[in-house]
Amino acid sequence: MMGQYHDLCARYDDAIVLFQVGDFYETFCGAAERTARLLELTLTSRDDSTGEYPMTGIPVDNAASYIEGLLEAGYRVAIAEQVEEPGESQGVVERAVTRVITPGTLTEDELLSSDDNNFVAAVARDGEQFGLALLDVSTGDFLATSSRSQETIADELSRFSPAEAVVGPDAPTGLLEGDGTRRDPLVTPYDEAAFDLERAAEHVATYFGDPDRLLASDAEIAACGALLSYAEYARGGIAEGVEEESVGVDTDTDTGTDTGADADTGTDTDTTLETNTPTLEYLTHLTRYDPREYLLLDGVALRSLELFEPRSVDGREEATLVGVLDETASALGGRRLKDWVRRPLLEPGEIEARLDAVDTLRAAVQCREELTTLLRAVYDLERLIGRISRERANARDLQALGDTLSVVPEIRATLCDISDDADRLEELHERLDPLSDVRTLIESAIAPNPPAEITEGGIVAEGYDADLDDLRATARDGKQWIETLEETERERTGIDSLKVGYTSVHGYYIEVTNPNLEAVPEEYQRRQTLKRAERFVTPELKERESAIIGAEGRADEREYELFCAVRSAVADEVERVQALADAIATLDALCSLATVAAQYDYCRPTIVDGAPELTIEAGRHPVVERTRSSFVPNDTALGSGVGVGGMNTGDGHGDRRLAIITGPNMSGKSTYMRQVALIALLAQIGSFVPANAATIRPLERIFTRVGASDDIAGGRSTFMIEMDELATILREADERSLVLLDEVGRGTSTADGLAIAQAITEHLHEEVGALTLFATHHHPLTELVDEFAAAFALHFSADQEDGEVVFGHTIAPGAATGSYGVEVATAAGVPEAVLERSRALLEGSDDVTGPSHADASTAQTATADGGDDLTDLAAELRALDIAHLTPVEALAELDRLQRLLE
Ligand code: ADP
Ligand code: MG
């Protein structure tokens, strides 16, 4: 057995092998020590003729949570199951790896989040091109794209946030390194041969037909082929027919998962079973997409707009866009809605089609409520059919599928009433195939409320199979005869206390107490002697008993056979089930958008084509408005030469692309800017928006940059990160972008910051032409608006009541006049002495924004005058007041001095 274990460890040397021994998965030796430590299990030991080994085990029936622990610690897990019954053969029970569980290839419901996809990615490179393939093994979603730009691929990775990334030999390493904006995938360096173009193409062809017709580039083909091969490997598909030392994951490269059970680990490998038949039956479609078909949000924007995850660590889950938008009734709908948020649309026709459907569902209140109720009864069809086709489904899964199919006709009927009003609903109505053949099969074959176990009977319905019914009748008759035995034997023998019973060891018996032993008939055969009684059997009882046992055993076998046949017949319909799942998912997501629109008083946006436009009347922040008792709506009018109505801007010109927003802290600047972006994004997923009216020309990209707070992260100053991200924006934004700049240029000296902010503003205005909202504390920036035709100023203000600041949260044209810092400090409870001193200092300057102004001019002078020779530099260094520098200021100062020196 240990030999077998070590062999498997050597073949799956990138994983922890969980080796089934009866009811436990065991690990031995080094792997046992590691597992015990990680999972806080007791380390025991195993003795055999070859020695003593450390050992630790986890129960097979309850393995999921332990496996999760191993995955979280960065390991892969290979499940080596007993593939024959103990005693079936001489010697050691045969075991094989049936599954390699990795973070990206989970199919276990317990380990997956029901309303989110779990992707594994593959990244390939072909010359200039990068190919990306994404697969959700649990649902069968399979996507591919490619690009010449590494950044584009990185953005797509942020978008889909895969749990694992499989990479080939020339995959760019930087691509997968965390940028702090998404969860880092587990990087799996994989068999080079799987990325080989010819081989990958063949692989894709076995599943989907001609790859050149399906996919746009060789890099895509390589990524898809490699990913197929990896999914097969994870499925245990490699175990047979490969003679190499080790399989699959390339062990040359450090994977961070040094699992090596004390066996010789394989070195360089060229493996992977050549597949000519698809072994992943649930993979029925591959979707090629172009990132440019969707509104692009890079990782930074995804995070700062809090679409999926709240920014604050302790943020509540519902404080995200998805959180407030998700009224879906099924897991299918939940995943579809997330996908829509991940990939907002660009094409006005597509957007309108969704809006029409949402509009119709919103208005048809009763119909929508009925649909929602029906959709709640829908199980996760995608994962169900996945399990069914992987032969992992039990009778309860089939019943769940049957139950779901039984509500489809009702969904259809309900939808029928309104499907004339929107093409999209009409289409869905047609696509809702109730699969009545499948449903009939399941309903006739599967017993009501079947047990989870599939080998112990009770899962096939009465009347489905004549043989089974016969066997069951035989067993039933036998039992009935035994039930009446006590009665008849009491009468026959005259022993009133005679009892008939059953034990699992001895089977059926007749029990007679000691005082009555004389009355026992002759044909009774003694079986067991107890203290006060004797137990007997009769030849007839024995005969009946073996008939029952025989019939029951054969019935169980027959049931298992029948069940497997039904399951595989259902599996043959995988494509139809997936198509139905797709239609239901879309319907559920549309209903969810409609419910939100109705419940929170959203309006239908007008989608326009042509010149850039983003006009919003009385817009609200969809997330913030839910967390506050009152929210003040605000208008937005951005656009290029269009009739931007709605808001009295007071500046007369119609070209308004760049807004400089000023106002005190806490007055609402950040909220306002995000609200604008979120409204545009909502419109582009086909949702109604939180406003009285909105007109939007679809955006192609949304960029956000939120100024650094004064801390230093990961060795790079946040100011560096900020500049890095700004560089991306300035390089990539265009007139179809929305750019949000929130307090950029803060992490450096005021003079530097202002200079940078001004240069950025100029560039955005003159060169880029993007719709831009720029919130800044650099008041001098507002003066720029006079110089630039398409720039204008907006501000928030605050009122003082009894020395306290009151925010109106209302945006208005023009620049702010004060920053109210001291008042905010008062409200925050800063000690009175400090406040008084601040007021005194303020009064000393003639401008409310004085400190930053004064600061700016001195610093500017210093920069201008400084640095012709070393004496100046030395003077500057001496003059540095280190005790009063923040770390970021210090960095900026160092940077400046260095440049001076150069
Ligand atoms: P700033 O960026 O100007 O410092 P924020 O946008 O962060 O201000 O807003 C500060 C606080 O004011 C937030 O906590 C938010 O809840 C509240 N707030 C912002 N805008 C509004 C609004 N329009 N109506 C009501 N409350 C608002
Ligand atoms: Mg702010």
What is the mean pLDDT for each group of 10 consecutive residues in the chain (902 residues)? 90 90 91 90 86 90 89 90 78 87 89 90 92 95 94 91 87 64 76 91 93 93 95 71 45 42 38 58 92 89 87 65 96 96 96 97 96 97 94 94 97 93 95 96 96 90 95 93 92 91 89 91 90 92 92 94 96 96 98 98 95 93 92 93 45 76 89 96 98 96 74 52 80 92 73 81 88 88 85 87 80 79 68 77 52 37 47 79 74 80 77
> If you take atom 25 of ligand 1, which residue's CA is the nearest one?
631
CB-CB contact of 685 with 350 (8 Å): no
| Residues 807/820, Cβ–Cβ less than 8 Å | no
Using alpha carbons, list the distances in angstroms from residue 88 to 83, 91, 92: 10, 9, 10
Backbone φ and ψ for 835, nearest 5 degrees, come out as: -65, -40
Neighbour count for residue 283 (Cβ, 10 Å): 20
- Ligand 1 in contact with 795 (CB < 6 A)? no
Between CA 662 and CA 648 the distance in angstroms is 18
Q: Give the pair of three-digit tokens for residue 664.
A: 């005190």
Q: What length is written for the chain?
A: 902
For helices 669-685 and 331-342, what crossing angle results, to 10°?
Answer: 110
User: In angstroms, what is the span from residue 742 Cα to ligand 2's centroid?
Assistant: 7
Nearest CA to ligand 1 atom 15: 668
In angstroms, the CA 520 to CA 523 distance is: 9
What is the spatial distance between Cα 318 and Cα 314, in angstroms, rounded to a whole number?
A: 12
Q: Closest residue (by CA) to atom 5 of ligand 1?
A: 668
Q: Quick one: residue 160, left, alpha or beta (phi over 0 = left, psi -120 to 50 = alpha)? A: alpha
Measure CA 242 to chain center. 34
Query: Is 707 near ligand 1, meaning CB less than 6 Å away?
Result: no
What's the CA-to-centroid distance between 16 and ligand 1, angstroms? 50
**Nearest residue (CA) to ligand 1, atom 11:** 666
Q: Is 66 helix (H, G, I), strand (E, B) or coil?
A: helix
What number of H helices and E strands is found in the chain? 28, 31
Asked whether the beta carbons of 81 and 26 are under 8 A apart, the reply is no
Best mutation site among 624, 742, 810 for ligand 1 pocket (most ligand atoms within 8 Å of CB)? 624
What pLDDT sits at residue 83? 85
Q: Quick one: pLDDT at residue 342?
A: 94
Task: Work out which ligand 1 atom sits closest to the CA atom of 634.
Answer: 23
State how far Cα 819 lies from the chain centre: 42
Answer yes or no: is the C-beta of 673 below 6 A from any ligand 1 atom: no
Global pTM exceeds 0.85? no
Does residue 668 line the site of ligand 1, with CB under 6 A? yes
Q: What is the pLDDT of residue 459?
A: 95
- Judged by its nearest atom, the ligand closest to the C-alpha of residue 669 is 1
Torsions phi, psi for 86 (to 5 deg): -55, 140
Q: Is 665 in the pocket of ligand 1 (CB under 6 A)?
A: yes
Q: Which ligand sits closest to the CA of 743?
A: 2
Probe residue for ligand 1, chosen from 316, 666, 705, 823 as the CB with the greatest number of ligand atoms within 8 Å: 666
The protein residues having their C-beta less than 5 angstroms from ligand 2 (an ion) are 670
* Distance from C-alpha of 630 to C-alpha of 622, rounded to nearest angstrom: 12
**Alpha carbons 682 and 691: distance in angstroms, whole number:** 11
**Does 777 sit in the ligand 1 pocket, CB within 6 Å?**
no
What is the distance in A from the centroid of ligand 1 to the CA of 268?
Answer: 58
Our answer on whether the CB atom of 631 is closer than 6 Å to any ligand 1 atom is yes
Cβ–ligand 1 distance for 632 under 6 Å, the answer yes
Dihedral of CA 37/40/42/47: which sign?
negative
Integer CA distances (angstroms), 452 to 85, 388, 394, 396, in order? 20, 14, 6, 6
Tokens representing 296 are 């692009």
Q: What is the pLDDT, as a whole number, of residue 298?
A: 79
Q: Name which residue sits closest to atom 10 of ligand 1, judged by CA.
A: 666
- Ligand 1 centroid distance, CA of 342 (Å): 26
Residue 500 pairs in a beta bridge with 510
d(CA 764, CA 671): 22
What's the CA gap between 311 and 289, in Å, rounded? 29
Q: Could you identify the atom of ligand 1 that is nearest to the CA of residue 633?
A: 23
Tell me, in angstroms, the distance from the centre of ligand 2 to residue 673's CA. 9
The pLDDT assigned to 432 comes to 96
pLDDT score for 141: 95
Strand partners, 165: 121, 187
Token digits for 610? 């042509």
Closest of 329, 337, 323 to residue 685, by C-alpha: 337
How far apart are alpha carbons 335 and 741 in whole angstroms?
Answer: 31
Q: Which atom of ligand 1 is nearest to the CA of 743?
A: 2
Mark 705-717 as b/e (b = at least 16 C-beta within 10 Å): bbbbeeebeeeeb
Q: Which segments of 148-217 does DSSP mark as H helices, in order?
A: 150-160, 197-208, 211-214
Q: How far is the CA of 810 from the centre of ligand 1 (A)?
A: 10
Residue 669 in contact with ligand 1 by CB distance below 6 A:
yes
